[in-house]
Structure 1
Amino acid sequence: MADFGGPQFYDIFSGGSSFAAGVNFAFTDNLILDLGYATDDSDNPNEGIFENYSYIAQLNLLDVGPFNVAATYIDGDQEGIDYTAAGLVSLNFGNFEVGGYYSYIDLDDGETDSWMGGISISDFLGAGNTLGGYYGRSPIFPDGALDTIDRNPYVAEVYYEIGLNEFFTLTPAVIYSDPNQPGDGFGDALYGVLRSTFRF
């Protein structure tokens, strides 16, 4: 709901809106390597596909009992950011799943990181319903990268997705945000959210 459950480190490098290509290699049924390359300005003859780019390599170990793990490396020519290295893990026990990630981001003038951990319980109080929640910390970017803030912000969310039928779900959620910044303009906040989703 708060768009934090999806790992944020995938979005840090800018390439991706103009040209992208990817390939994967399945060494076994469980061990898969994903490679990708993206750029923002492929339609600009002065830039081409080798400027304003990013590339990613991710090695996945999937469905080894309850375990799914991945190691990720992302690089590119984003100003102020050198590279991102991350690890992801999830454990699936049928209706109960727990998972999370940690990312380290090397900056030209320092370093930052982010992490998230969460759980979900499917078919909770009814078939097709899911109860879930997560807690995590967003990365920060000092001068020379993206924005200037002082300390990592935190966010938590609890949601309950109700499958009303095969086409429609309703998801109430409570979101807590802690900007973790000095000054009067950065107080904690609590939000109530209701999302409806149609699938065809």
Structure 2
Amino acid sequence: MAKLFWQSLLAVPAALGAAVAVSGSAIAAESAVVTTQGSNLDQGVVQLAQTTSVSELTDVLPSDWAFQALQSLSENYGCMQGYPNRTFRGQRSLTRFEFAAGLNSCLDVIANPIALSGVSTDEIVLATIRRLQEEFQAELATLRGRVDALEAETATLRAQQFSTTTKLRGQADFHLITPFDTIPDETSTSVAARARLNFDSSFTGEDRLRIRLQGGDGNAFESLYGLASAGGSNYDITIDDFYYSFPVGNRITVTAAARGLSGDDWVVSTILPFDGPAVADAGNPRFYATGGSSSNGAGAGVSIALTDNIVLDAGYTASNPGGAINPAVGVFAAAEQSYIAQLSYISDGFLDLGIAYMHNDQSEGFALNNTGIAAPAGATDTFAGLLNLDFGGFFIAGHGAFQSFNGGDDFSWTAGLGFNNFLAEGAQLGVYGGQLPQLAGYADNPFLVEGYYEIPFNQFLTITPAVIYGDTGLAGVTDQTGFWGALRATFRF
């Protein structure tokens, strides 16, 4: 009879097993680590300790019959758990649900070994267990329902581990620029600012839909050179980026853009470590800019990780005004379009390098256009190489780009060095200089040098002071030679 009784216990997982399982939630799961809370309880983490006598649990009333019955089972089978402070759950009495969970914990300990081994059990023990089951039948049924609901919710969560999310990321850049020399049209300290709000959405956890709102005004620095983090007019809000990227397998990422991607947006890295920290726009290799701007950003691209360190990037950009948004012309028949391909080797240590090719049908704009030299017309082919040598504490980097077009050639380059973690964790001190894009063979090539010190105060604020020297080398025409001091504050949120 005893054996049949214990077998019946095992046959009812809904009433016992499920409730026992909930004691795995209510008690066994708590038996690992529990953080106590409450106005009368000390905050902290406590470990459960095994007790063999219910009388050691001071928050269970010893006058109750149920207490005495559970005490007897606990002393015989060692099936109750409590805390090192000799309480079951803080300085309070057990609720009926807590007691029911504890009861099922005991039944779980008692039932399985006896039923499996066939050892007989005292009739008094069987009667005690039956009475406890009857008295707490309602609580056990409630626990059973809760466990069923919990299991259903868990199954749903496992089947839908990812849900569509949109994250808002923002960046605001404030510039204070002052000329140190007498420069035409730039005689006083001025400001420039730009704000961006990125809405990044994901539908699978691995893809990204980005919509970027941007507004700004003021360049506050000779337009020949420009600021890296400025742009816009009258703080008008525009959609600067609108693209969707998704993986294909483990090594391929495809991107489709309606607006905002061109040039360096298609490549995994521009290689040069001063692209980003630099205040002047020349810190970014200028040949990328000939592939379009945010208004020339409709197209598609693909990034293929050939190995863990070698990446092949390719992208196509069509001018929105030139036909991408015009149904009579279309994306692939736009008069102004560009193609880029770059093969990059990105290491975790000493060497990073890249070789790039860009074909551009858009009218070029070079540094010397402000001098009256006409912009090149027709197709332009660009061949470029980029290199970064990281010695740990400091780096040496640079690039060279040669452009060939109808009516002339163009050459540009930059070279610089910098020190990582200079005087502060995450800080970068750097200096670079280079020749801006211009017509090859023209006397006195345009030149720019910048020294900067990027200081991250925390994850939200970065301050970058800089000194910039620029010289177009065109005395008597529209020569813009001089020094500027710059201070940029970047807020990220």
Is TM-score (shorter-chain normalized) higher than 0.5? yes
**1:78 aligned to 2:362?**
yes
Q: 1:184 to 1:74 in 2, by over 3 A?
A: closer
Equivalent residue for 1:67? 351
Q: CA deviation at 1:94?
A: 2.2
**1:128 aligned to 2:435?**
no
Return the alpha-carbon distance in structure 1 between the equivalents of residues 309 and 282 of structure 2: 27
Larger radius of gyration between Structure 1 and Structure 2? 2
Q: CA deviation at 1:56?
A: 0.4
Alignment of 1:81-160 (within 5 A): 81-141=379-439, 151-160=444-453
**Structure with the higher helix share, 1 or 2:** 2
**1:161 aligned to 2:445?**
no
TM-score scaled by structure 2? 0.38
The RMSD of aligned alpha carbons is: 2.0
> Secondary structure, in 3 states, of the residue corresponding to 1:4?
helix
Aligned-pair identity in percent equals 40
Give the gaps of 5 or more residues in structure 2. Answer: 1-278, 364-376
Return the alpha-carbon distance in structure 2 between the equivalents of residues 129 and 28 of structure 1: 31
> Secondary structure, in 3 states, of the residue corresponding to 2:287?
helix
One-letter amino acid of the counterpart of residue 282, structure 2:
F
Equivalent residue for 2:306? 27
Q: CA deviation at 1:184?
A: 6.0
Return the alpha-carbon distance in structure 2 between the equivalents of residues 86 and 165 of structure 1: 36
Residues 97-144 of structure 1 deviation map (CA, whole Å, 9 limit, x = unaligned):
2111000000200101000011121211122321111000011259xx
**Structure with the higher strand share, 1 or 2:** 1
Is the 8 Å Cα contact of residues 411 and 439 (structure 2) preserved in structure 1? no
> Secondary structure, in 3 states, of the residue corresponding to 1:12?
helix
Residues 25-49 of structure 1 deviation map (CA, whole Å, 9 limit, x = unaligned):
1111122110101111311123211
Equivalent residue for 1:49? 331
One-letter amino acid of the counterpart of residue 47, structure 1:
V
One-letter amino acid of the counterpart of residue 314, structure 2:
L
One-letter amino acid of the counterpart of residue 120, structure 1:
G
Bigger relative contact order, structure 1 or 2 (CA pairs below 8 A, ≥6 apart):
1
Return the alpha-carbon distance in structure 2 between the equivalents of residues 194 and 61 of structure 1: 33
Q: 1:174 to 1:57 in 2, by over 3 A?
A: same
Higher mean C-alpha displacement, 102-111 vs 91-100: 91-100
Return the alpha-carbon distance in structure 1 between the equivalents of residues 400 and 346 of structure 2: 18
Give the gaps of 5 or more residues in structure 1. Answer: 143-148
Return the alpha-carbon distance in structure 1 between the equivalents of residues 476 and 410 of structure 2: 22
Q: 1:170 to 1:14 in 2, by over 3 A?
A: closer
Residues 153-197 of structure 1 deviation map (CA, whole Å, 9 limit, x = unaligned):
100000111222221111111000011113164152000000001
Equivalent residue for 1:192? 485
